[in-house]
A = this chain, B = another copy of it.
């Protein structure tokens, strides 16, 4: 039992997870070192292991945190028919494309997560399940048939669209990818 209250340390931990989220989404998991992650949080590398057992453990915490943020955005959307549509418009905006560090962790990291430690993939699985549920819940109000299947189709289309728009170097093609993805996504809403 600590003689100190843990509040300050937990705050530091939360700050590391937050700044690491931005950095990992921008530079990738393999592309970011522990020292960079710690200096983003205003600390030196040595303090890292007072908060996390390993880099993978931090990445798992970051993935869980980032998906929780996405979940909460979706979960607190107004219950009208247009709010999911607005979310999609923002998701497929050039602003989201151009700022991965502030955006969706799936769009930024999904193929890297598939190649990473099981502890990270399990955190991802738990987080994305909740997101699938909340999207499916929104969709069923429009059309009750196979809401979950359509939620999955929508989700994978959004992620793939932003990834492709980020990968290509031709700005016109990139814009076209976003526009086409938006048309496809809105058609899926019915």
Interface SS, A side: helix
Q: Indicate the size class of the contact surface on chain A.
A: 35 or more
Q: How many Å lie between the Cα of A176 and that of B158 in the bound state? A: 18
User: In the complex, what residues of B have CB within 8 A of residue A159's CB?
Assistant: 160, 163-164
Which of A5-13, A46-54, A179-187 forms part of the interface with chain B? A179-187
Q: Are A184 and B150 in contact (CB under 8 A)?
A: yes
> With A31-B30, A107-B111, A164-B110 given, is the CB distance from A183 to B129 under 8 Å?
no
Q: Are A173 and B30 in contact (CB under 8 A)?
A: no
Q: Is A90 an interface residue (CB 8 A)?
A: no
Q: Are A180 and B149 in contact (CB under 8 A)?
A: yes
Q: Are B160 and A155 in contact (CB under 8 A)?
A: yes
